[in-house]
Amino acid sequence: MENINILAALRDSFTLVILVFCSLLSFTVAFERWWFFRSSRRQNGDDLLARVSGMLKEGAADKALEQAPEDSPVSRLLDYALRHRETAKNDLAELLATKRQEEKLRFERFLGILGTMGNIAPFIGLFGTVVGIIKAFRDLALSGVGGPTVVAKGIAEALVATAAGLAVAIPAVIIFNYFTRRLKVIMSELEIFSARLVIMLKR
């Protein structure tokens, strides 16, 4: 059997064009999220709390705000807590919980696209395969010649759509699970930092 012409397959199958677009979208989102996670610099929470505690004892609350790195979830939590440090302990804990949810939304942005691509890409590929098989049998019926060879060639070309769907879905699922795991770690660290921060401010 002749090798499958990828360009011709793309021209003849609209599902392959859709899958190429899905693949480009997945890798664009993956790169954007990687850059965002990388840019959200992390810092040792205990060291930061120790420095902030010392400055608060000296009455230098404004200086304490400068201790956290810019554009990081820790710095935003610290800034929020220091600006509401006069609030009751339970209320401050609730406020920090809402702030953590805001941070979680920032990290979760666009991750749903990766999850969606991982779920729907195999079905798009399967749809393309079914359409291709229907077309192969229709062409056989119209030509009346060729026998199994014509059908086998058409089915082989149709199965490219299924392979393409899996090729899009598998990396998307792996990347989605990777970022989900990283997000869980970050949120756990923020929760620990918030609890210790509340205790430090209210002792």
Contact 165, 122 (CB under 8 A): yes
pTM of structure: 0.81
* Cβ-Cβ contacts under 8 Å for 154 (sequence gap 6 or more): 132, 133, 135, 136, 137, 139, 140
Residue-wise pLDDT for 82-137, tens only, equals 888 888 888 999 999 999 999 999 999 999 999 999 999 999 999 988 888 888 88
Chunked into runs of 10 residues, the chain (203 residues) has average pLDDT values of 53 81 94 89 69 73 66 82 84 92 93 94 92 81 67 77 92 95 92 87 74
